[in-house]
Amino acid sequence: MGKLILVRHGETKMNAQGIYFGHLDPELNLLGKEQAKETRKILEKLNFNYDFLYTSDLKRAYETAEILNYNKKNIILAQELREINFGIFEGFSYEELKLKYPDELTKCEKNWENYNYLTGESVKELQNRSVEFIKNNLDLNKINIVVTHWGVINTLLSYYFSNGLESYWKYSVNNGGIVIIEFSNGFPILKGLNIGG
């Protein structure tokens, strides 16, 4: 059986500060590096002899992938695995947004699936690019590790297990957390959620 092993990158300073950041490119902080090391230990203990290792090309994901790459595979970078582009919200906290862009924040909360942050992208667009990347690039009969972001992971889980965005907010994967989806004749089975992290 093939496996899609999704790993959320380790923590960054912006995670700790509660800032909206998708395409901004901070590095892992010290805790984030420790989380990545712990993720590696868990994956090694589970004895996954993975065939491919994909990662978002943003530093926090790539650094996580480098740390957990115990099979020393070539790391395949992909822009398609980046976090959502938060557009005008990038770099601000929720409290700051309430002051700076109150009308846009209201629009976002009322229509979160399709709101595109004016200069960014919508959750629906994020899901489309994430799903298309998996379909077009991964052999789901193999064991694939994909190091990516909260939004990408949640859009993929929602696609596979509710066939849309209905369950997007129902998953909570922590920094360094692992999600395991097993494929049996193309049918997705959730085998693990937020392991570690």
End-to-end CA distance of the chain: 25
What the block records as the tokens of 162 is 């509710």
What the block records as the tokens of 195 is 């392991």
Q: How many CB atoms lie within 10 A of CB 35?
A: 24
Cβ proximity of 179 and 194 under 8 Å: yes
In the chain, where do the E strands start and end? 2-8, 52-56, 75-78, 143-148, 178-184, 187-195
Which active-site residues does the annotation give? 9, 83
Among residues 39, 98, 93, the alpha carbon closest in space to that of 63 is found at: 39
What the block records as the tokens of 112 is 């979160």
